[in-house]
Amino acid sequence: MCSIARAKENPIKENFILDFSYYVNNGLLDNSDLIGDLYTDTNTRLSYYPKLANLNNSRDKLITKQSSLLISLDNVKSKYDTAVLLKDAALEEITKLG
Q: Please indicate, yes or no, whether the overall pTM of this predicted structure exceeds 0.85.
A: no
pLDDT at 1: 52
**Do 4 and 14 touch, CB atoms closer than 8 A?**
yes
Q: Is the dihedral of CA 75, 77, 81, 87 positive or negative?
A: positive
Q: What angle do helix axes 31-39 and 48-97 make, rounded to 10 degrees?
A: 30
Amino acid at 71: I
pLDDT at 91: 96
45 pLDDT above the threshold of 80: yes
Give 58's pLDDT tier (boundaries 50, 70, 90).
very high
Q: Please list, in sequence order, all residues whose beta carbon lies within 8 angstroms of the beta carbon of residue 36, skipping any fewer than 6 positions away.
A: 45
Give 76's pLDDT tier (boundaries 50, 70, 90).
very high
